[in-house]
Structure 1
Amino acid sequence: MMDPHVTELEKDIIKEILNIGLARAADSFAAIAKDKVLLKVPDVQLLEVKDLLSLVAKYEDTHIIIQSDIKGDFNGSTLMLFSEDHVALLSEVCLSMLDVRKGELSVMQESLLLEISNIITGALVTQLANILKSNIYGSPPKAPKSHIATSLKDILVQHPLFQPLVFTVITKFQHNSKDVELPLLLFFDTTTLLKILDIIRSFNYDKNNMFENT
């Protein structure tokens, strides 16, 4: 398997591209959350598949996971991880629900989580497509009912040797001075990483010129 070498500068450029996409996503999310939303991108990580699955598995028993696949020129997924506390606060703010019961999601609550994932992934994918001049789109989000490895099989099984490029993004949602952090995992397969690197390397690393059309 090709081991893609990503320089620190290239990592910075990928993070800058994601920051632009996430800023747009935050604005879109804030419109339905009726409050301030902050998104930040930490370090880019290259992980083995088993490490990715163990990272996701840590959240499986305590969080509702909403998955949206990225298709077209790139192959990837976003996973948004909602704890019961997140669901309760978002239900209160966005659906005006009081005394939200923890446990089973109502149809309205699941629709809300799917819509939030759709908004954030859609805004991010649109910006990535614009900046990287690529034809990509997000598939409708879903709440996987099975083990997360099963729901990710389109990426993991069809590309059993790939080394995913994983971004762990913390979405900080502020409401009435309460901070709620929503983990978001974004990852691409190795082929996509190589495509992104080819595109970035075709730019002349002048960030001002690179992002002027976004």
Structure 2
Amino acid sequence: MTETRASELELDIIKEILNIGLARAADSFATVAKDKVLLKVPDIQLIKVEDLLKLVAKYENTHTIIQSDIKGDLNGATLMLFSQEHIVRLSEVCLNLKNVKKGELNSMQESLLLEISNIITGALVTQLANILKANIYGSPPKAPKNYVADSLKDILVQHPLFQPLVFTVITQFTNNSKVIQLPLLLFFDTSTLLKILNIIKTFEFTKSNFLDK
């Protein structure tokens, strides 16, 4: 297998494109969070499949993971990671629940997490489609009942040339001056990375090329 490579400039451009999409997603999430929301891409890396599975597995026992798949011309997925503390705080802020206890999700809480993932992934996908002129859409989010790393492994083994491009996104919002951060993993497969790089090569490298989208 020939390793997929991207220059620092190309990775910076991908990161900037994603940040533009996330800005729109942040505005949408703000209506649910009822306060200021900031989403940004702090890191971008190409990693091996086994490392991705280890990364996801690390969160399995401590976080509720919501998965949304990105399909169409580009293929990928988002995983939103909600700790017990996140769920309690979001339940208080977004659902006006009082004295929320940590533990198993009730139907209202699960619906809230699914809706947050749907809002963020949907807004991000819409912006990516606009900027990259691609036909893509997000599938309805789901909360896998089994181990996410196992379900991802089943998908990845069907694509032996898969080398994920992983972005870590910090979803941050404030409520009563308290900052809450939710980790989000966004990853694309090798084929999608190559498509994005080819699209980028058609860009004129000026800020107005995609900052005005």
TM-score range, shorter chain: over 0.9
TM alignment of 1:1-214, pairs within 5 A: 1-153=1-153, 155-212=155-212, 214=213
Alpha-carbon deviations, 1:116-146, whole Å to 9, x = none? 0000000000000000000000000000111
Alpha-carbon deviations, 1:6-31, whole Å to 9, x = none? 11111110011001000000000001
Q: Distance in 2 between matches of 1:145 and 1:157?
A: 20
Q: 1:66 to 1:183 in 2, by over 3 A?
A: same
Q: Distance in 2 between matches of 1:62 and 1:19?
A: 27
Alpha-carbon deviations, 1:37-76, whole Å to 9, x = none? 1111112100000110111111110000000000001111
Q: Distance in 1 between matches of 2:209 and 2:75?
A: 27
Aligned pair count reads 213
Normalised to the residue count of structure 2, the TM-score between the two structures is 0.97
Q: Kindly state the Cα deviation for residue 153 of structure 1 after the two structures are TM-superposed.
A: 4.6
Q: Identity rate of aligned residues, in percent? A: 75
Q: Distance in 1 between matches of 2:9 and 2:155?
A: 27
Once the two structures are overlaid, the 10-residue window that deviates more, 155-164 or 121-130, is 155-164
Normalised to the residue count of structure 1, the TM-score between the two structures is 0.96
Q: Residue type matched to 1:9 in 2?
A: L
Q: Residue type matched to 2:178 in 1?
A: K
Unaligned runs of 5+ in 2: none
Q: Distance in 2 between matches of 1:37 and 1:154?
A: 34
Once the two structures are overlaid, the 10-residue window that deviates more, 48-57 or 157-166, is 157-166
Are the aligned partners of 1:49 and 1:162 in contact in 2 as well (CA < 8 Å)? yes
Alpha-carbon deviations, 1:123-180, whole Å to 9, x = none? 0000000000000000000001111123325641321231100000011121111111
Unaligned runs of 5+ in 1: none
